[in-house]
Structure 1
Amino acid sequence: MRELSFVKIPAGVDTADLKAVSEFLSQKCDTHKVDNTPWPEQFPYKPEVSFSGAHDGKAVYLRFDVNEQQILATNTEINQEVYQDSCVEFFIAVDDESYYNFEFNAVGTCLGGFHDAERDYRLHEDLLSGITTLASLGEGPIDKPVGGEWNLTVRIPSGVLEQHSGFAFGGNGARANFYKCGDNHKTPHFVSWNMIEFEKPNFHLPEFFGKVTFE
């Protein structure tokens, strides 16, 4: 199982400015590769993907850097099927009974959900609108058969974790996984940070999440 730590963003960085946060994540934080191909026989293609992260106690900040063969971002409304596009994903469990999924395409469109033994639903659009993004490719839509590099920085406030209203990132731990996919790409792909051992593509398997510490 992979493990990582997210540092607390120092007071000198303006967290209201995602561009400043993105530069901090890129220049001052550890970079982690999303480099596992759990289903190599059926889906061998592995784009270049990495991420870095930090927190300010009230929110987690992530920057994804991607280099891939095709760039696709046709979904531009909250909770649309962004996993069909060039998509990066962050799944997090703050207890042993449930988890959240946050999925973003290359222009920052978000799909979010909550899952436990009794509930399986998409988070409300009003709640997800509290997530802010900064996409190097702008707002889209994009259908680019020739790929290249792009990056996406996101801010996910703790309030979006609506079933865990008392959770604060600072000083706590969680389990998480990070993914890159593109279901509708000319070369579909499914890659993960922590390895998944399952017979077919499925990211909704919290038993394969890695460990994340928020310093």
Structure 2
Amino acid sequence: MQNALNIKRISAASVGAVEICRLLDEAKVDFVPVDSHCWADEFPYKPKMEVRAAHNGNQLLVNYRVTEECVRAVAQHDDGNVWEDSCCELFLSPVADGTYYNIECNAAGTLLIGFGAGRADRERAAKEALDTVDRWTSMGRAPFANIEGERTWQLCLAIPASAFFAHNVQSFDGLSVKGNVYKCGDMLPHPHFLSLFPIDIPKPDFHRPDFFGSVVFE
């Protein structure tokens, strides 16, 4: 079981999402599996999901790699129901004040960011904040319906500190915080729910900061 998600510091500045795979390869940042299959009895399908991340002080650089039997990205616009698609998610508490952000992105780079203390009454990021997150995906940026047949796809996000819109995060340097990483697909032919750190409850629910693990920024 993964004990922590370690975020290596790299020296590159003003990174675009299209550069992330190469930069993380050059920095020898390894993927870690997102394979806690907590609700396997009810949702037995388990795609392969991996994540790796780095930062340059001002940007959090995230690379997801997924292998699954069907890929979907129907959500037309940011702030839509991306969790119903082939979706990769990072939940993070950058400040220890009982709140967290949910950063959810589908296979076409369509994005949702929310903020709050729990599932209820979450505040959604404004378009101005969403637009600061640069995205690249191997599936292209246009929405698409189900693409059947097993394939591997990648998604990269360059997330500036300012995207954590309810806080004044000056830098990621040296932060030791809490969070989790997820893969879901609520409306896929075989719905699934995977996490980096396990969630010990009977039904799928990613909005459980009580099960967050350690996220350590170099």
After superposition, where does 1:47-66 map in structure 2 within 5 Å? 47-66=47-66
Residue number in structure 1 paired with 2:72: 72
SS in 2 for 1:159: helix
Distance 2:47 2:24 in 1: 21
1:121 pairs, out of 104, 120, 123, with: 123
Residue-by-residue CA offset, 1:33-71 (whole Å, 9 max, x unaligned): 000111111011110110100001111000000000100
Distance 1:73 1:8 in 2: 31
Following TM superposition, by how much is the alpha carbon of 1:119 offset from its aligned partner in structure 2, in angstroms? 5.0
State whether residues 114 and 121 of structure 1, in contact with CA within 8 Å, keep that contact through their aligned partners in structure 2. yes
Aligned length: 213
After superposition, where does 1:63-212 map in structure 2 within 5 Å? 63-94=63-94, 95-116=96-117, 120-143=122-145, 144-212=147-215
TM-score by length of 1: 0.93
Distance 1:141 1:171 in 2: 37
The residue type equivalent to 1:205 in the other structure is R
Distance 1:32 1:167 in 2: 27
State whether residues 181 and 190 of structure 1, in contact with CA within 8 Å, keep that contact through their aligned partners in structure 2. yes
Gaps of at least 5 residues in structure 1 are: none
Residue number in structure 1 paired with 2:16: 17
Structure 1 residues 181, 166: CA separation in 2 closer, same or farther (over 3 Å shift)? closer
TM-score by length of 2: 0.92
SS in 2 for 1:184: coil
Distance 2:210 2:66 in 1: 26
Residue-by-residue CA offset, 1:92-126 (whole Å, 9 max, x unaligned): 01214100000000011001100126952211122
In angstroms, what is the RMSD of aligned CA positions?
1.6
Gaps of at least 5 residues in structure 2 are: none
State whether residues 13 and 56 of structure 2, in contact with CA within 8 Å, keep that contact through their aligned partners in structure 1. no
Following TM superposition, by how much is the alpha carbon of 1:14 offset from its aligned partner in structure 2, in angstroms? 5.4
State whether residues 18 and 135 of structure 2, in contact with CA within 8 Å, keep that contact through their aligned partners in structure 1. no
State whether residues 78 and 110 of structure 2, in contact with CA within 8 Å, keep that contact through their aligned partners in structure 1. yes
SS in 1 for 2:46: coil
Distance 2:52 2:43 in 1: 25
The residue type equivalent to 1:198 in the other structure is I
Distance 1:59 1:132 in 2: 10
